[in-house]
Chains A and B, each alone.
Chain A
Amino acid sequence: MATRSTALEEHPSAQPPGSGRSEERSLLTGSEIVCRALEDEGVETVFGYPGGAVIPLYDALPKAGFHHVLVRFEQWAALAAEGYARATGKPGVCLVTSGPGATNLVTGLADAMLDSIPIIAITGQVIQPLIGRDAFQEVDITGITLPVTKHNYLVNRIEDLAPTIREAFHIATTGRPGPVLIDIPKTLFLQKHPYTPAQTVHRRGYQPTSVPNIRQVRLAANAIATARRPLVMAGHGIMLSGATDLFRQFVEKTGIPVAHTLLGLGSFPESHPLGLGLMGMHGHKHVNDALDECDLLLNIGARFDDRATGQVSGFAPNAFVVHVDVDPAEIGKNVHTDVPVVGDAAEVLRLLIPEVEQEHRDDWLAWIDSRRDRALDEALEERPAWPEPYTIIKAIAEATDGEAVVTTDVGQHQMWAAQHYGFDHPDRWITSGGLGTMGFGLPSAIGAKIGRPDREVWAIIGDGGFQMSCNELATAVQENLDINIAVINNGYLGMVRQWQDLFHAKNYSEVKIGAPDFEKLAEAYGITGITVRTDAEIRPAIDRARAIRGPVLIDFVIEPEANVWPIVPPGAANSGMLHQQRYEG
């Protein structure tokens, strides 16, 4: 090879371009083109699982410039890609075979779609002559995933491969981010074509708005100038936009307190006097009270999800509403909006900050503070003997200085973590908000750790959800990932049990869930397992886990019927939230 290329350079006229051997040399297989295109997008890691339709692509992987992580179930490949994306801000990539491999991705794509996470899914498809004939492992994955992807493609020609991949990354990461799927028939992996690095993307039908209309920004500024009890509803969009620094400037200048949506946690420090923490169904009492009382609600990058708003007619009933969102379809979709501002949060804040006055709002802040529920803090003083969920979360927060990346599964433990970890930084809180996908905790922690090996990663998981994806322990071991897994073990599908407790007369139907001995399970995977049964063991177990390199599992056995407080009953307004009557000690 080497001699031949030297000969060519010395005698460029010996072989005109496009003729014979030189063309042969510049041709890549479809598989190699996929790898090259991914490399050109800066992809470092791909989460995947092989199978018939992608065997030719896997043939090219050993030479590819990125690392392939072999998961144990395709759904977790999608969620690992999400964890990677949420921790790094870069798109995550997953790769699976046709048929069952592809359908196993669907939940992961829906999760990414609802939470606006940029992931790229590559699926193999049966060879072209067999498409449409119910061939072995053929499914219409572009048809199936139409409503759960931002866009999807079935690539028909090898010359379209590289440009399609380029366009897919562009679409996934710009405007309102989201998942994009590329379905590639096996035929194309085997064909050959020259690789031209793809050019900049231009699509007539895709021109997301990023710079807002200055008139709308001024209307927002006017509303702020005249408001007496303004409140910011801080959403995920602030972090998707990379606008946390600008947002902090804005909040500190205007003195407006910040209520966080579940996915907005981390957009503004909770430890800051103006950072209030979680709003909505399981929001803190003073935050939901502030929503009730505010005369201006400035939503930045949140989509007014029903878990955040409660019954819409009772949501922020006295407020003039300003809504900043990059997606025009979110404006007025759920909540009536007085001043829409369509644009990227960072661009909007850049224009808005000079338009607003420096202010202090001591009376308003004092009022909000007076609405805090002190009962919980008091209760926590007299710590019960068994591990109490709030105590566990607070102990992890203390041990990690609030600096860890925390992933969760879905359920009570998720809400306890959201309420009590105290998020001060973006990209540290990784949770499934919109779809509430059980099984999310472990694979997303794997993706997050691979994306940010420099960060400490804690996965806080319920005993139910852990049993959905604990097979990924093998992946964590194979990749030798230093992650800490805290199973909050109540022996129940706790969140469902809580609803049955409160809203279905304690009829505990199918929520008691058995489990293996998690400590032994950990050992079976060759990792350290620790069981914690008393309050006194909490912190030592956490410290031990942190000291061990590689995956560690702590099984926190908690009071089986502990509930998440407060809670807004389904269908009620946030003002109708239920509080803990007395400490269940």
Chain B
Amino acid sequence: MKNRHTLSVLVEDHPGVLNRVVSLLRRRSFNIDSITVGHSEQPGVSRMTIVVLGRDQEVEQAGKQLYKLMEVLKVTDVTPLNCIAHELALIKVAAKSQTRSEILQIAQIYNARVVDASPTTLLIEATGPEEQVDGLLNMLKAFGIRELVRTGPVAMMRGTSTVGVKEGPRPDRELAVAGNGTVAISN
């Protein structure tokens, strides 16, 4: 069965690394749902959050293929782990004077903020789990969504666990199997 998997990928911050990662996933026929890239807590290391659709075993294979890229330091499938996965959405919704207060109320329910307004629109910024953003959009649909941009999720484990890499040999033991140990990797 195909599932959505969220991969946290730590990479060396080199030119072309995003291209390498995306090209590899395309070549292995992976559909990327969303991908975000930005700095991590370590200088010179970027963190990608990639959401892909695939069978557990396929995603594990993708993780192992990603490890073949020289720039890839760590791949963790955080899907089954206890983590926070939030995205950011900017939503420009049509608003007349009669509907404005209703929209504001809905935004409040979803913990979203109004960041800009015009006589005919409101610009709402929402963050949270994807389902929460979906819910908000569903409620706003009736008013007319003029424009929408979503980042796709970024994810981080709860509690003290981290996906960070330590200096030293690459922990091949942790080969992307976090959570879906369909094939046990020996090292």
* Chain A residues within CB distance 8 Å of chain B: 142-143, 146-147, 150-151, 171, 203-207, 209, 212-213, 215-216, 327-329, 331-333, 337, 340-343
Q: Which of B145-187 contact A (CB under 8 A)?
A: 165, 167, 169-170, 172, 175, 182-187
B20: interface (CB < 8 Å):
yes
Q: A207-B169, A340-B185 are in contact. List 18 more A-B contacts (CB 8 A).
A: A142-B16, A146-B20, A203-B70, A205-B12, A205-B69, A205-B71, A205-B170, A209-B172, A213-B186, A328-B172, A329-B64, A329-B67, A329-B68, A332-B57, A333-B61, A340-B184, A340-B186, A342-B186
Closest chain B residue to A333, Cβ basis: B61
| In the complex with contacts A146-B20, A146-B23, A337-B183 CB distance below 8 A | yes
Q: Is the CB of A146 within 8 A of B187?
A: no
**What B residues does A207 contact at CB under 8 A?**
169-170, 172
**What B residues does A341 contact at CB under 8 A?**
186
**What B residues does A171 contact at CB under 8 A?**
70
How long is the Cα–Cα vector from A332 to B185 in the complex, in angstroms? 10
**What A residues does B73 contact at CB under 8 A?**
204-205
A143, A146, A337, most chain B CB atoms within 10 A:
A146
Q: Is the CB of B72 within 8 A of A205?
A: yes
Q: Is the CB of B186 within 8 A of A216?
A: yes
What's the least CB distance linking A168 to chain B, in Å? 11
| In the complex with contacts A147-B23, A207-B172, A328-B175, A215-B61 CB distance below 8 A | no
**What A residues does B67 contact at CB under 8 A?**
328-329
**What B residues does A206 contact at CB under 8 A?**
70, 170
The residue that B183 contacts in the complex, of A143, A147, A332, A343, with Cβ under 8 A, is: A332
Q: Is the CB of B165 within 8 A of A342?
A: no
The residue that B172 contacts in the complex, of A143, A203, A337, A342, with Cβ under 8 A, is: A342
B19: interface (CB < 8 Å):
yes
**What A residues does B69 contact at CB under 8 A?**
205
Q: Is the CB of A212 within 8 A of B186?
A: yes
Q: Is the CB of B64 within 8 A of A328?
A: yes
Interface residues on B, range: 20 to 34
* Chain B residues within CB distance 8 Å of chain A: 11-12, 16, 19-20, 23-24, 27, 57, 60-61, 64-65, 67-73, 165, 167, 169-170, 172, 175, 182-187
| In the complex with contacts A142-B16, A147-B27, A205-B71, A331-B165 CB distance below 8 A | no
The residue that B167 contacts in the complex, of A204, A205, A328, with Cβ under 8 A, is: A204
**What A residues does B70 contact at CB under 8 A?**
151, 171, 203, 205-206
How long is the Cα–Cα vector from A331 to B64 in the complex, in angstroms? 10
How long is the Cα–Cα vector from A331 to B12 in the complex, in angstroms? 26
Q: Is the CB of A204 within 8 A of B183?
A: no
How long is the Cα–Cα vector from A341 to B184 in the complex, in angstroms? 10
**What A residues does B61 contact at CB under 8 A?**
329, 332-333
What's the least CB distance linking A223 to chain B, in Å? 14
**What A residues does B27 contact at CB under 8 A?**
147
How long is the Cα–Cα vector from A205 to B24 in the complex, in angstroms? 16
What's the least CB distance linking B121 to chain A, in Å? 39
**What B residues does A142 contact at CB under 8 A?**
16
**What A residues does B60 contact at CB under 8 A?**
332
**What B residues does A343 contact at CB under 8 A?**
186-187
Q: Is the CB of B165 within 8 A of A204?
A: yes
How long is the Cα–Cα vector from A216 to B69 in the complex, in angstroms? 26
Q: Is the CB of A213 within 8 A of B68?
A: no
**What B residues does A150 contact at CB under 8 A?**
68
**What A residues does B175 contact at CB under 8 A?**
328
25 CB < 8 A contacts A-B: A142-B16, A146-B19, A203-B70, A204-B73, A204-B165, A204-B167, A205-B12, A206-B170, A209-B172, A209-B187, A212-B186, A216-B186, A328-B64, A328-B67, A328-B172, A331-B183, A332-B60, A332-B182, A337-B183, A340-B184, A341-B186, A342-B172, A342-B185, A343-B186, A343-B187
Closest chain B residue to A146, Cβ basis: B23
How long is the Cα–Cα vector from A328 to B187 in the complex, in angstroms? 9
How long is the Cα–Cα vector from A147 to B25 in the complex, in angstroms? 11
A328, A340, A343, most chain B CB atoms within 10 A:
A328
What's the least CB distance linking A218 to chain B, in Å? 11
What's the least CB distance linking B39 to chain A, in Å? 17
Closest chain B residue to A327, Cβ basis: B68
**What B residues does A332 contact at CB under 8 A?**
57, 60-61, 182-183
How long is the Cα–Cα vector from A369 to B138 in the complex, in angstroms? 71
What's the least CB distance linking A301 to chain B, in Å? 15
How long is the Cα–Cα vector from A331 to B69 in the complex, in angstroms? 17
How long is the Cα–Cα vector from A343 to B72 in the complex, in angstroms? 20
| In the complex with contacts A204-B170, A205-B12, A331-B185 CB distance below 8 A | yes
How long is the Cα–Cα vector from A337 to B27 in the complex, in angstroms? 24
How long is the Cα–Cα vector from A496 to B20 in the complex, in angstroms? 36
Please give me the 9 A-B residue pairs with the lowest Cβ-Cβ distance, nearest first.
A216-B186, A329-B64, A332-B183, A207-B170, A213-B186, A207-B169, A342-B187, A209-B187, A213-B187
What's the least CB distance linking A270 to chain B, in Å? 31
**What A residues does B16 contact at CB under 8 A?**
142
**What A residues does B20 contact at CB under 8 A?**
146
How long is the Cα–Cα vector from A171 to B70 in the complex, in angstroms? 9
How long is the Cα–Cα vector from A418 to B50 in the complex, in angstroms? 45
**What B residues does A146 contact at CB under 8 A?**
19-20, 23
Closest chain A residue to B71, Cβ basis: A205
A150, A171, A205, A206, most chain B CB atoms within 10 A:
A205
**What B residues does A328 contact at CB under 8 A?**
64, 67, 172, 175, 185, 187
How long is the Cα–Cα vector from A341 to B175 in the complex, in angstroms? 14
A146, A204, A327, A329, most chain B CB atoms within 10 A:
A204
How long is the Cα–Cα vector from A340 to B64 in the complex, in angstroms? 14
**What B residues does A212 contact at CB under 8 A?**
186-187
Closest chain A residue to B170, Cβ basis: A207
Q: Is the CB of B23 within 8 A of A204?
A: no
**What A residues does B165 contact at CB under 8 A?**
204
**What B residues does A204 contact at CB under 8 A?**
12, 73, 165, 167, 170
**What B residues does A333 contact at CB under 8 A?**
61
A331, A337, A343, most chain B CB atoms within 10 A:
A331
How long is the Cα–Cα vector from A213 to B187 in the complex, in angstroms? 6
How long is the Cα–Cα vector from A357 to B172 in the complex, in angstroms? 31
How long is the Cα–Cα vector from A335 to B27 in the complex, in angstroms? 20
